[in-house]
A = this chain, B = another copy of it.
């Protein structure tokens, strides 16, 4: 669907630019900025495709996505100073990316006729793994594991999407509703700082 393709391009640009800022915080060089941008934007889908044996990977079949994410990462170097004025816009675009990636990931698994649980997992991997790779390459514990409703938003989006399709509703409608619901949940979670409960365990390493 055209709208999904347009949102996908917006999402990989937004993911690449926020990853470029993370690279800048660690004083990476320009090559590092581009690599981190591409890996963050395209890594979730790549890991999904490798796990599900779905070849060729998106960027191998469509190398122009690599060009787009590289340009987005490089552009960030020059517009970084004004990007913090757009802080809220980027939080929104990041949330758009999360839910759009999730729906795309679900679609890939649906096309492969995989079990519904795997469809939801495929959505979550597509939505979340790019950020995990970014954090590993920045030598952080992945943010995904520590805070905020992020994976949870992806799971809720995927469950709504799969349940709606199973119930036989119109595809466009189901997609629109799951996207909006996921987006709303994510923005509310950011606004009101909703968090999952933490598991805190203090015994020594055994």
Stretch at the interface among A8-16, A112-120, A158-166, A170-178: A112-120
Q: Mark A99-121, 1 if CB is under 8 A from B, else 0.
A: 00000000000000011011001
Is there contact, CB below 8 Å, between A121 and B28?
Answer: no
1/0 per residue A183-194: CB within 8 Å of B?
A: 000000000000
Given A50-B50, A51-B50, A140-B139, A32-B146 contact (CB < 8 Å) = yes
**In terms of DSSP, what is the predominant structure of the interface of chain A?**
helix
Q: Are B114 and A27 within 8 A (Cβ)? A: no
Q: Any chain B CB within 8 A of the CB of A180?
A: no
Considering the chains assembled together, what is the distance between the CA atoms of A52 and B63 in angstroms?
Answer: 13
Known: A23-B199, A76-B199. 13 other contacts (CB 8 A): A26-B141, A27-B198, A27-B200, A28-B141, A28-B145, A28-B198, A35-B145, A51-B60, A59-B118, A90-B206, A91-B206, A136-B137, A137-B145
A-B pairs, top 3 by smallest CB distance, nearest first, are A24-B201, A32-B145, A29-B196
